[in-house]
Structure 1
Amino acid sequence: MPPTYENYVDGAWTGSSTGETFAVRNPADTDEVVARFQASGRADLDAAVEAAVDAQAEWANTPGPERGAVLKRAGEVLERRRDEATETLVREEGKTRSEAGGEVGRAIDIFHYYAEKARELGGIEKAASGPNTDLSTKREPLGTVGLITPWNYPIAIPAWKLAPALATGNTVVHKPASAAPNVSRIIYECLAEAGLPDGVANMVTGSGSEIGAPLADHEAVDAVSFTGSTAVGTAVAQSAADDLKRVQCEMGGKNPTVVMPSADVDEATEIVGVGAFGTTGQSCTACSRAIVHEDVYDEFLESIVAYAEDLTVADGFEDPDMGPHVSESELESTLEYVAVGKEDGATLETGGSELTGEGYDDGHFVEPTVFSGVTSDMRIAQEEIFGPVLSVMKVSSFEEAVAVANDVDYGLSASVVTQDLSEAHEFVDAVEAGVVKVNEKTTGVELHVPFGGYKDSSTNTYREQGDAGIDFFTATKTVYLNY
């Protein structure tokens, strides 16, 4: 029998008021139920919010270094449970063992990073215009914050929201994605073992309609941080805005890599291939469009097709190059976009089919897919696919490449592969993206610098990670002290 896990509310593990649960299945073998979780209702959410509100004042008045010490201990506990968390992530989300291990390591690092940041949560001092006056600022927590996190990075993203929220003295109510809540459960076990006071951080599982939407507009919640699709994020932002909550939404992407004539084609292939097919393309920063100069287009296309065809696809425990889609609906969406690409006139160079046969029949596996002859008016060049589908687009100049890169509603991550320093600097200046890379894949971000997008990739309010994470979860008070 698979285990049944409960909500974490006010320092205790408790069943839902509905008495109902839902199953989380292994996407590589859907006959395996990994665990069951609470299908919570509004009463469960209200209980979690009440616990967080009741705990907020005491946690806010806890000195920053003490809060940081709890986060540090939580990171140490998670480090001891690294292998368990890695295997849990592989089993519930489908990542390869290497990808899952890297993500767990990122979560550990985030807790340690914000543990140290909690020691330096001060303000700034400015010179006053008159005598005998001190002029300064101080940071204060917002209060109780709601966190809504996705399934594609189900331990790293909760960590990079939770850690700065807790470091700055806020209390938390967290709804993890129903497709992959199990590693979030491990985070809360680590926080509890680390000595986090009751009620400071609470986790409630359930559907977006029953838990997510009410969390966003809950009258006792002071801010909401969301990561997920643009459609849902827009609804969350609009709901939160009704009572002027602070809101932060990081959403979709349609990320380009531009390949210029000076690029080493083998290097460009590796950069695009890892960006497009790593994590099964299930990343908001995944490379979806390779925009290639005509001088190297044919050579690059041949190379990236060979790259895709050489990838191994299997259960993540085998540590292949690519694991399964997280769910049947995600697999079906990818296959639908393959059909759309064909209908729009793109050339399917390789892949595009569901994998079947031994090792595949019980999972959500798809071939790495490359289209050529893609133009900006095609849906596969405009819409986020969230699967291992790469559109290769031909351009005749650097200026055209930048124009094509910007010709989408999204603006999360973008990269250019070039040995021309002028092109590199011009690309950084001209491309409409919140994350810009030169001779690097579009995926992968450092934890101590801001992360976020432009246009429909973000609410364009606050960034995440680094000092930007501190900024979102704090309010600034300006102090005039006349002596």
Structure 2
Amino acid sequence: SVAVPVGEETADRLVAALKPRVEGLKVGLSTEPDSDYGPVVSKAHLEKVQGYIDLGLKEGAELVVDGRGFSLQGYENGYFMGGSLFDKVTPDMKIYNDEIFGPVLSVVRTKTFEEAAALPTKHQYGNGIAIYTRDGDAARSFASQVQVGMVGINVPIPVPLAYHTFGGWKRSAFGDTNQHGTEGVKFWTKVKTVTSRWPSGVKEGASFVIPTME
């Protein structure tokens, strides 16, 4: 996941607010209601996510919160990992361009709204994105121009209800339709076309030509 603040002051305030929140995430069993999240799917994936953190440091990003080495008491052999927070990530870094699928948040600082809005459009993936603003014009401009399948405006996770479609664009898409909603109905629907013509009477005789508009 990536957060893109506009302006250095906003970025500093955002990172300062995120740091205690990430550090305070409760990692536990997925079946426990008070857990923020559970383990990753496998040992191989845990090592992969941890490898991305190593890579981010090598690429020059600033690791604000390090979730590596986390161990859950009683489940020391589980595939658990603490939340991690990177700051000063740039678009040329692999931790920005790849989907990590782990508890890692990267902060990419930008100077202008236009610079920030262009990032998701240029990215190879385009699943979901959100903008936080009090400027309605900026929100409308962003929503109409950004090349991403699902957009939230002051909504943290832009996943619509089931009667709307769910799906991304670019490399976040699979197949030619989205899930749920009208797209889901369309996937399971066969189209039948019936063409009929009712003659005004048998006295006019049979017609063996394609009907045309008069």
TM normalised by structure 2 equals: 0.87
Q: Which residue of 2 aligns with 1:328?
A: 43
Consecutive unaligned residues of structure 2, counting only runs of 5 or more, are: 199-214
Could you give the per-residue CA deviations for residues 125-150 of structure 1, whole angstroms, max 9, x where no partner exists? xxxxxxxxxxxxxxxxxxxxxxxxxx
**Cα displacement (A) at 1:362:** 2.2
Consecutive unaligned residues of structure 1, counting only runs of 5 or more, are: 1-287
4+ runs deviating over 6 angstroms? none
Report matched runs for 1:236-255 at 5 Å. none
The structure where helix makes up a greater share of residues is: 1
Please say if residues 129 and 150 of structure 2, whose CA atoms lie closer than 8 Å, have aligned partners that are also in contact.
Answer: yes
Asked if 1:310 corresponds to 2:24, the answer is yes
**Cα displacement (A) at 1:470:** 0.8
Q: Which residue of 1 aligns with 2:89?
A: 374
**Cα displacement (A) at 1:419:** 0.7
Q: Which residue of 1 aligns with 2:73?
A: 358
Q: Which has the higher relative contact order, 1 or 2, with Cα contacts under 8 A spaced 6 or more apart?
A: 1
Q: Which residue of 2 aligns with 1:296?
A: 10
**Cα displacement (A) at 1:354:** 3.0
Could you give the per-residue CA deviations for residues 214-266 of structure 1, whole angstroms, max 9, x where no partner exists? xxxxxxxxxxxxxxxxxxxxxxxxxxxxxxxxxxxxxxxxxxxxxxxxxxxxx
Please say if residues 128 and 159 of structure 2, whose CA atoms lie closer than 8 Å, have aligned partners that are also in contact.
Answer: no
Q: Which residue of 1 aligns with 2:191?
A: 476
Q: Percent identity?
A: 34
The structure where strand makes up a greater share of residues is: 1
**Cα displacement (A) at 1:357:** 5.7
Q: 1:412 to 1:402 in 2, by over 3 A?
A: same
In structure 2, give the amino acid aligned to 1:393: V
Whichever of the two has the greater Rg, that structure is 2
Asked if 1:389 corresponds to 2:104, the answer is yes
Q: Distance in 2 between matches of 1:444 and 1:464?
A: 11
Please say if residues 150 and 158 of structure 2, whose CA atoms lie closer than 8 Å, have aligned partners that are also in contact.
Answer: no
Q: Distance in 2 between matches of 1:450 and 1:441?
A: 18
In structure 2, give the amino acid aligned to 1:392: V
In structure 2, give the amino acid aligned to 1:306: P
Q: Which residue of 1 aligns with 2:155?
A: 440
Q: Which residue of 2 aligns with 1:405?
A: 120
SS at match of 1:478: coil
**Cα displacement (A) at 1:443:** 5.3
Report matched runs for 1:10-409 at 5 Å. 288-294=1-7, 295-319=9-33, 320-356=35-71, 358-409=73-124
Q: 1:416 to 1:460 in 2, by over 3 A?
A: farther
